[in-house]
Structure 1
């Protein structure tokens, strides 16, 4: 009695295996797009893109598998398993490809930011060097002014020395 139940159970599994991915008609695609009225977030868009890229190439194969399973169930199940393995491999490749593109875009953004920061740093360095040269110029000008002021003050404090040198000793 267990043998008929197990064979019925195996047939049900075979019927369910090839239809792991839903077969989308044009009507279903338009309904699916109309259901998403609010704009999905970037992670939702990325997940939808991954799903679309991973499943879209297999839609015609799934139709053929469904026809094959109805014609020859013994051949349909192994073919469905093989297609499932290829689909998983394809999904992995698509995922890696999308991740690689995302990393390239992020890398490009970082390179641009680094270039901008280097330019900014160079501008600050140039500004700093200009300020240092101005500071040196002002220090030199201050030193010259100080020397002149000291010489003028010396002349003011000791005017008699110059006059005494020319005066007779009697005075």
Structure 2
């Protein structure tokens, strides 16, 4: 009876262990054979990269665990759980690392865009400043021309009054 329970427990452990230990050699081969498939989208590529970086270091360990399962199933199950925990931790680290790199790249793009926008702003500010200085120059030149024109008109008006006054004096004398 006890042997039935232990063999049943071993079967349960054996049944659970392969689910915990997926060996990805078959997936890797199928991905290598599918070279004619169109390029996946960036999110798909990112997911594949994450998956590859997260599982690749564990392939040798998974093979050893598969061998261990056939040799000593009682020891293989706890070892597989431990490897599974480390694998999840590693996946988390890989994910954070990839996210950090992605943010770094996006930050670089934003910095370049910021630099370009600052250069454009500086160029527009310089252009604006030049236009303002030209406007001030034209305003000063217009004011000077107006003053001269007013001076000429005053002189002409004054001399014409004198001429008119002289003509009227000449007309009275006659």
**TM value normalised by structure 1:** 0.85
Equivalent pairs, count? 169
> Do the aligned partners of 2:13 and 2:74 also contact (CA within 8 Å) in 1?
no
Question: Partner of 2:120 in structure 1?
Answer: 120
Is the counterpart of residue 33 in structure 1 residue 14 in structure 2?
no
Which structure is higher in helix share?
2
SS at match of 2:20: coil
Structure 2 residue 106 is matched with structure 1 residue 106: yes
Give how far 1:6 is off. Answer: 8.4
Q: Deviations over 1:36-60 (max 9, x none)?
A: 6021101100000000000000000
**Contact 1:18–1:80 at 8 Å: present in 2 too?**
no
Secondary structure (helix, strand or coil) at the match of 1:158 reads helix
Stretch of structure 1 that moved more, 61-70 or 36-45: 36-45
RMSD value, Cα: 2.7
Change in Cα spacing, 1:13 to 1:75, as seen in structure 2 (3 Å) is closer
The farther-off stretch of 47-56 and 158-167 is 158-167
Shift of 1:8: 2.4
Which 5+ residue runs of structure 1 have no aligned equivalent? none
- Shift of the alpha carbon at 1:34? 2.9
SS in 2 for 1:38: coil
Give the equivalent residue in structure 2 for 1:83.
Answer: 83
Unaligned runs of 5+ in 2: none
Residues 21 and 81 (structure 1), Cα distance of their counterparts in 2 relative to 1, 3 Å cut: closer
1:64 paired to 2:64: yes
Counterpart of 1:95 in structure 2 is: 95
Residues in 2 aligned to 1:53 and 1:157: alpha-carbon distance in whole angstroms: 95
2:42 maps to which residue? 42
Output the CA distance in 2 between the equivalents of 1:35 and 1:9: 41
Alpha-carbon spacing, 1:149–1:156, altered in 2? closer, same or farther (3 Å): same
